[in-house]
Amino acid sequence: MKLPAWIAALLTALLPACDMVNLPAIKPGITTQAEVRSRMGEPGFIHRNDDGTVTWEYSRQPAGVHCYMIRFDRQEIVTALDQVLTPATYARVTPGLTQDEVRRLLGQPASRQTFDNLGESVWEWRIEGDFRTEETFFSVHFDLADGTVRKAGQRIQQKP
């Protein structure tokens, strides 16, 4: 069943309010996967880590400017909760990283575009900025031939 546009817009607008209530209740070393699922819903993506642990991704893209990564140990207890759309994480996006590695760092992008004439794919995330006058994005350019990062940086679009 497809939701009417106005209901989808309302639900998207309420997500940040839900996050403000639910995120503080998630405590590393205490909260279980079942409790996170009951508070936050199903993760948008589950990253399986080499050491047998998992990271659940809760991206608020394309309308929001946050992405929460919640890591669990092998006993399914939260070990960390991070909002990853930050300057420190952007700095870790360097040439040569794969699309999977970037997805693990930043979560689901707000948009993806392919430019065959340039031989690249560009992923963008909406990020925090001055919402009154502009929209701010973090862009990652991938080489189409090998799928690795060519370059990354911020893009600011002035509002009309």
**Token pair belonging to 73:** 């140990």
Q: Which of 26, 51, 83 is the endpoint of a domain?
A: 83
Same domain, 12 and 78: yes
Write out pLDDT tens, residues 42-57: 999 999 999 999 999 9
What is the H or E stretch that residue 13 is in? helix 5-22
pLDDT at 130 over 50: yes
Residues in Cβ contact with 138 at an 8 Å cutoff, skipping those fewer than 6 apart:
85, 90, 106, 124, 125, 127, 152, 153, 154, 155
User: What pLDDT shows up at residue 13?
Assistant: 42
Tell me the pLDDT of the chain averaged across its residues.
91
If asked whether residues 22 and 75 sit together in one domain, one would say yes
CATH number of 117's domain:
3.30.1450.10
Last residue of a domain, one of 83, 107, 140: 83
Tens of pLDDT, residues 59-75: 999 999 999 999 999 99
Percent of all residues in the chain with a pLDDT value above 90, rounded to a whole number: 81
Lowest average pLDDT, out of 3-7, 8-12, 16-20, 105-109, goes to 8-12
Structural domain span for residue 59: 5-83
Task: Choose the final residue of a domain: 23, 57, 83.
Answer: 83
Question: What's the total number of domains in the chain?
Answer: 2
Residues 70 and 112 in one domain: no
pTM of the model: 0.84
